[in-house]
A and B are shown apart, each in its own frame.
Chain A
Amino acid sequence: MGGFSDENVSEIFRFMHTIKGSSAMMLFNSIERVAHTVEDIFYFIREQKPTALDYSAISDLVLECVDFIKLEVEKITDKNEPDGDAEPLIQSLKGLLDGMKTEFSVDEIKEKPKETAPEQYYIPQEKNPAISLNACYHALVFFQDDCMMENIRAYTLVLGLMDMVEEIYFSPADIADNPETAIEIREMGFEIYMKSDAGYEMIKAYFDKSIFAERLSVREVDEGTLKTFQNKLQAASPSVPKIPEIDLSKDPILNEQAKTNGEMEKNTSTNGSNGQTMISVNVDKLDMLMNLVGELVISESMVTQSPDVEKIEAENFHKASLELHKITEELQDMVMTIRMVSLSNTFMKMNRIVRDMCKKLNKEVVLEFAGEHTEVDKNIIEHISDPLMHVIRNAIDHGIENEDERLSKGKDKVGHIFLEAKNMGSDVLIVVKDDGRGLSREKIIEKAKKNGILEKAEEEMTDKEIYKLILLPGFSTNDSITEYSGRGVGMDVVVKNLESIGGIAVVDSEPDRGTTITMKIPLTLAIVEGMNISVGQSRYTIPITTISESFRPQESDCFRDPDENEMVMIRGKCYPVLRLHEHYKIKNAQTDLTKGILIMVEEDEKQICLFADELLGQQQVVVKSLPHYVTTMKRINGLAGCTLLADGSISLIMDIGGFTGLRIQ
């Protein structure tokens, strides 16, 4: 394991600093303290550039801190108190830092050089009483006109100052809990008297850096003035002394600083991995936008294809309508892509899982990515992370052998897991491939026999059929239950999660060469390819993936069984018939089987023939949910949602699982 790159160290340092600052502002002390200690460690690494650190131990601790902060943030999001105990963590961090310091005792570490780097202020916690610089300063700050919440800004300012001053007094005094003071600050400025050994330059620099401050003045005063102010505050009648103000934009020092800041920013944007500019948008708004665009497309076709317009023989008009059509189509595509999110975040999360597991199981595994920038719809990505995690856990726990075994098999001692995503038509394939021991056909069969889930004679089963067994719930060939696997729940979770988004998993394996698990998921849930059918006046849409065939039966093929269930015979096999008009009590529909059409649909390997009046054609439809009021009223069997057809009418989208489960049992 190599060291940390300078860039990463600085980046972690910066992030920790931001977390520290923000949490301090919100008074989440435990988070602030953890972030602060981590910041200290990375400050040390950055400044001292020690070599041969125990990188793994540091990473462990930092990850622990990240987990801690995440947990706390979660508590806060759920409106609970962030009550986690940071003390043990801080102690071990401090221990680590002390250890590092003694080991690399760069004597009299210029730990915090007090002149240059702007980050330095927060690091010196222990104030050295020996140096009694203790000068007194007075500062008057005016905030930008439109920055709002002046009192909060002022409070942040004071909080930041706390680290470098011995004593601080400010007016108005009750900024933290009296929003009224915002107006006072806006009009009269925010006045601070402080006693500090930090030096004028540092204090000035601090103020210069603070956001939203527009005009400010900092000057040194004698202790008497400070005391007077203090007394005045106690008398609670603050008045503002007139002090010449410095216009920040005219301050040459500041300008220079601004310039360096600008350069720095430029650097980070070229170095930083994510140079793109992003804004975050509420998903509801996106949904609304998508609905509107859908409407636009429909009304566009209503206008350009209306019979009245067809008669118009103006070339210009037709050109213009073509142009309109092109633009609306592009717009629709664009809106769809806005909802698409790259898989890279989900993939990156797997790194952590691999790292943790390798530590625990004492294996060495390298995770490799390909195609992590493949994009899928936002609501699908949420369902991918869990299955992926289970598959990878399985691969490490069962698939990858331990070092000795690998060496004896003539393999590289480091295990490899390839994680690959790629587009295939309207699906995305996610492939997880390991180079471990592969699945054992014998073991699976043995276990399947024991559980009595073997459906055919074992000789008849193909390898793929056998491997498929491991996807069944409660199936595990592991003899003992470990922390990570063996309960047989994992693969079941994978299948269930994939099913909920219309995806499937395929297992393939080669003994001693490894296992490949391929997950096939649709790009988006929002659009399905559907077949529109009519029953009476009603329109329905059947997802095309469920349809096996459609046909008009001969009268001689239709019959009823003794229980009056209607059946149809095709190619020597019997299939149940469900008359949609009867099932949904639709009037004015075709009732003669030989005059309408039968559509054979299949889900979960169960088939049923639906009887409808006619097929209207195949179309991609945008799925909308049924109105909330309707779904609370009743859960309607066999309906998944609804959609708008090109003429503005509504079609109901069928959920075939609802029917196949209904009849065949």
Chain B
Amino acid sequence: MNNEALNIFDEEIDQKGQFLTFLLENEAYGIWIGYVTEIIGILPYMEVPELPNYLRGIINLRGRIIPIMDMRLRFGKHFVDYDERTCIIVVDIEEDTVGFIVDSVSEVVTIDDDKIIEQPMMSTGISNQFVKSIGKVADEVKLLLDCEKVLRYKEMEKPLTEDEQRRIKNEMVL
């Protein structure tokens, strides 16, 4: 039993500085690998009424029903059509499983603690609310997400423009 506990501990240490990076509108974001359970392509989804627009609906992931969240809409960016590069990152946070829809997934990077700086609080805008810290990899920066906040923070919902509404409508696959 002790050994098993140690292994889990080791794994956590292994994962500590690892982040899955993905792109949203040319910005590189990072999400701690410990949250991520799998990455899948975009699937047909079922819209659920009365939810905020960034929650696109629910998908059937091998018999599990999980909600999917469009990260662009969540961050108040413009909606773009889903294509073959669009990915769903399935994350497990506490008791919830949610799929994040992102433009594309890049890679898993290791960022040491000393390369991570706290997010300077002066910036505004929706997306910055969800950025916990900033990691430097070579000469690039990755915005590291505060997943808890992405899920729990309820206030932000930017109304969709006419054009976006029309395009989302076409996106309803099923």
Contacts and interface: CB of A to CB of B under 8 A. Distances in A.
A649 B48 contact: no
B135 to A, nearest CB: 27
B54 to A, nearest CB: 11
27 contacts: A291-B63, A584-B49, A585-B49, A586-B49, A587-B172, A624-B65, A626-B48, A626-B58, A627-B65, A627-B67, A627-B96, A628-B96, A629-B67, A629-B151, A630-B51, A630-B55, A630-B58, A633-B154, A636-B49, A642-B46, A644-B63, A648-B60, A649-B44, A650-B58, A650-B60, A651-B46, A652-B46
Given A636-B49, A639-B48, A644-B65, 8 more contacts: A292-B63, A295-B62, A295-B63, A537-B47, A585-B49, A633-B55, A642-B58, A649-B60
**Most central of B45, B48, B51 by chain A CB within 10 Å:** B48
Interface in A134-178: none
Nearest to B63: A295
A539 interface: yes
B60 A633 contact: no
B140 interface: no
Interface in B13-68: 44-52, 55, 58-60, 62-67
Contacts of B71: none
Interface string B62-90: 11111100000000000000000000000
Nearest to A636: B50
A665 interface: no
Contact of A649 (B46, B66, B95, B96): B46
Contact of B172 (A537, A583, A639): A537
Interface string A501-536: 000000000000000000000000000000000001
Interface residues of A, number: 33
B63 A633 contact: no
A630 B65 CA distance: 11
The 5 A-B residue pairs with the shortest CB-CB distance in the complex, in nearest-first order: A584-B49, A295-B63, A650-B46, A629-B96, A587-B169
A647 B5 CA distance: 42
Contacts of A5: none
Given A295-B62, A295-B63, A633-B51, A628 B95 contact: yes
Given A538-B46, A650-B65, A634 B60 contact: no
Nearest to B47: A538
Contacts of B98: 627, 629
A629 B54 CA distance: 13
B67 to A, nearest CB: 5
Interface in A596-633: 624, 626-630, 632-633
Contacts of B65: 624, 626-627, 642, 644, 650
B149 to A, nearest CB: 14
B97 interface: yes
Contacts of A630: 48, 51, 55, 58, 67
B173 to A, nearest CB: 8
B121 interface: no
Sorting the interface of chain B by its residue count into under 10, 10 to 19, 20 to 34 or 35 or more gives 20 to 34
A294 interface: yes
A77 interface: no
A627 B63 contact: no
A642 to B, nearest CB: 6
Nearest to A627: B67
Contacts of A587: 169, 172
B49 A649 contact: no
A588 interface: yes
Nearest to A625: B65
* Binding site secondary structure of chain A: mixed
Interface string A532-576: 000011110000000000000000000000000000000000000
B174 interface: yes
A633 B48 CA distance: 12
A601 to B, nearest CB: 17
Contacts of B97: 627, 629
**Most central of B47, B62, B66 by chain A CB within 10 Å:** B47
A652 B169 contact: no
A249 interface: no
A539 B48 CA distance: 10
Nearest to B154: A633
A295 B97 CA distance: 19
A265 B92 CA distance: 49
Contacts of B44: 649
Contacts of B46: 538-539, 642, 649-652
A214 B98 CA distance: 52
A642 B45 CA distance: 13
Interface in B75-133: 95-98
A291 B64 CA distance: 8
Nearest to B44: A649
B50 A584 contact: yes
A634 B51 contact: yes
A627 B65 CA distance: 6
A642 B67 CA distance: 12
Interface string A635-665: 0110100101000111110000000000000
A624 to B, nearest CB: 6
A627 B60 contact: no
Contacts of B63: 291-292, 294-295, 644
**Most central of A539, A584, A650, A651 by chain B CB within 10 Å:** A650
Contacts of A584: 49-50
Contacts of B59: 650
B79 to A, nearest CB: 14
**Most central of B67, B97, B98 by chain A CB within 10 Å:** B67
Contact of B169 (A588, A627, A629, A634): A588
A650 B59 CA distance: 7
Contacts of A536: 172
Contacts of B154: 633
Contacts of B172: 536-537, 587-588
Contacts of A639: 48-49
B121 to A, nearest CB: 27
B29 to A, nearest CB: 20
A649 B50 contact: no
A633 B58 contact: no
B166 to A, nearest CB: 9
A648 B61 CA distance: 10
Contact of A586 (B47, B52, B67): B47
A539 B50 CA distance: 15
Interface in A75-126: none
Contacts of A648: 60
Nearest to A644: B60
A358 to B, nearest CB: 47
A628 B152 CA distance: 13
A652 B174 CA distance: 13
Contacts of B95: 628
Interface string B148-174: 000100100000000000000100101
Given A537-B174, A642-B58, A649-B44, A634 B67 contact: no
Contacts of A633: 51-52, 55, 154
Contacts of A586: 47, 49
Contacts of B50: 584, 634, 636-637
B104 to A, nearest CB: 24
Contacts of B174: 537-539, 649
A626 B60 CA distance: 11
Nearest to B62: A295
A315 to B, nearest CB: 32
